[in-house]
Amino acid sequence: MNMLAEELNEVLRETVAGRLLSGLGQRLYFPKGIIAQSAEARKNAHFANATIGMAYQNGRPIIMSAVADEIPSLTPEEIVVYAPTAGVERTRLIWKDILAQKNPSIDPQGISLPVVVPGITAGISYIADLFIDEATPVLSSRPCWDNYELIFGERRGAPVTEIPFFGSGPGLDLDGIRQNFRSEARSGQVRAILNFPNNPSGYSPTHAEADTLIEIVEEIAESGADVLVICDDAYFGLFYDADFIQESLFGRLSTIHERVLAVKIDGPTKEDYAWGFRMGFVTFGSKNLQSVHYDALVKKLMGAIRSSVSCANTPAQTLMLKTMDDPRTPAEKERYYNLLKSRYHAVKHFIESRPPLDCLQALPFNSGYFMTFRCVDIDAEKLRLELLHKHGIGVVAFGTEFLRIAFSSIDESQIESVYRIVYDTARSMGNS
């Protein structure tokens, strides 16, 4: 094993993070090679910096005219230079401030500086690299985003145990969740991913449900098991009902017990309507972890980044900084939020004003971009194909049981028509 990896492992040896590391996570390190030496040179090479593989002229990066013409207000440094492996420092600092502002339960002194990754998917994948080995179970919700199986199951060879999050009641099946966590805790370690607002259901917990989820994790840690909780907060901020939580569980998870390692994976992708920027953040938090431990974890994460894509792209970080600084942004975000909230209420009104269908049961939803139906005695995939080929309506089937509709991409004027066709088609299939 590389000496640098061994040094990081020694720093983390007595911590929950060190105990949870996968084999690959133990081997990862950030090399003191080109990138590290270039970072030193940026600070100290006052005469000439010949460390990095970029082309400069008269002290500035060379840029193609076509690129410069398309983004005339940005400098070459803001467009074409390599970003540091962990991200542009100002981007990371501002994002940490944003986390604290939007999540009052977060202690900014008790978490790591966020690391920029090329999208939330990449962030989840890197955390899987660090902490998940083959045959290491990962708990997730049922239904869940289908990419979890690809990331954890196919890439890492880890079984994904889907916990039925919704029973016959109006919210989470907390007893079922507790039972599954307790069962996994018998192995001495629990790894779980919590996704709120949930994709595909569009659900965020009530305040009481959030309290119980925290209690479940704390109970498992108190029993002597180490717990990794990945908070997939891709749709954070898109909360439409004050009766449900308005912040991430990460803040509370990062302080409840020294055996709990919380990882927040988020970004501007959904809330700031910048999907194609492929930009996310990874933040660590755990009770009693110090800056030296967070530095070691960040360096291991940087090793995962360096050994895959090297760094996240610079223009996306630049443009997000510009967006955050732009005085028009708050009003625009409020306008787009209200647009989505209005669509959400239109969907709720349609469902609540119609007699329920036995064959099509709406899962609880209150946030995010989506809502999902459970299909009973009809096949979700067959329903999807029927809607697509006979009515020109595109939806997503999760296996044969769940059908997801993204109301975020339907104009409000279309919602009643779309949902009426979905209901009529499902009813006809259920009666056939």
| 404 assigned to some structural domain | yes
HSE, CB side, 13 Å, CA atoms: give it for residue 231. Answer: 30
* One domain for residues 205 and 125: yes
Q: How far apart are CA 28 and CA 129, in angstroms?
A: 9
Residue 4 lies in a domain: no
Q: Which of 49, 78, 107 is the last residue of a domain?
A: 78
Query: What pLDDT does residue 46 have?
Result: 66
Distance CA 166, CA 168 (A): 7
Tell me whether residue 1 is in a domain. no
Are both 26 and 36 inside the same structural domain? no
Last residue of a domain, one of 292, 325, 358: 325
Structure confidence at residue 73 (pLDDT)? 86
User: Between residues 376 and 66, which one has the greater pLDDT?
Assistant: 376
Q: Are both 278 and 336 inside the same structural domain? A: no
pLDDT of residue 211: 98
- Strands 280-285 and 260-266 turn out to be antiparallel
> 293-314 as b/e, with b when 16 or more CB fall inside 10 Å?
bbebbbbbbbbbbbeebebbbb
Q: What pLDDT is attached to residue 324?
A: 87
| CATH number of the domain enclosing 376 | 3.90.1150.10
Structural domain contains residue 2: no
Let me know whether 207 and 222 are in one domain. Answer: yes
- Render pLDDT for 368-393 as a digit per residue (tens, 0 to 9): 999 999 999 999 999 999 999 998 99
More confident residue, 323 or 282: 282
For residue 421, the enclosing domain spans: 330-431
Q: Both 113 and 230 in a single domain?
A: yes
Domain count for the chain: 3
Do both 320 and 408 map to the same domain?
no
Mean pLDDT, all residues of the chain: 91
Output the pLDDT for position 76: 87
CATH code at position 237 = 3.40.640.10
Are 281 and 265 contacting, i.e. CB atoms less than 8 angstroms apart? Answer: yes
- Between residues 389 and 71, which one has the greater pLDDT? 389
Q: Is 51 exposed, middle or buried (0-12, 13-18, 19+ CB in 10 A)?
A: middle
Q: Are residues 61 and 166 both part of a single domain?
A: no
Q: Is residue 256 domain-shared with residue 369, that is, in the same domain?
A: no
Query: Same domain for 68 and 122?
Result: no
What is the pLDDT at residue 163? 95
Is residue 365 included in any domain, yes or no? Answer: yes
| Two tokens, residue 263 | 């990882």
Quick one: pLDDT at residue 63? 67
Contacts with 88 (C-beta within 8 Å, 6 or more apart), sequence order: 116, 314, 317, 318, 321
Q: How many CA atoms lie within 13 A of 13 on its CB side?
A: 6
Asked if residue 203 belongs to a domain, the reply is: yes
pLDDT at 55 over 80: no
Decide if 3 is inside a domain: no
- CA triple 6-9-15, angle to 5 deg: 165
Final residue before a domain boundary, out of 278, 303, 325: 325
Euclidean distance between CA atoms 305 and 117, whole angstroms:
8
pLDDT for res 270: 85
Q: pTM (2 decimals)? A: 0.92
| 422 and 278 inside one domain | no
Beta bridge partners of 163: 141
376: Cβ contacts below 8 Å, ≥ 6 apart: 358, 359, 360, 361
Q: Same domain, yes or no, for 352 and 280?
A: no
What pLDDT, in 10s, does the model give residues 114-131?
A: 999 999 999 999 999 999
Return the amino acid letter for 349: H
Please name the amino acid found at residue 247.
Answer: E
pLDDT of 317 strictly over 90: yes
Tell whether 118 and 165 lie within a shared domain: yes
Residue 67's pLDDT is 63
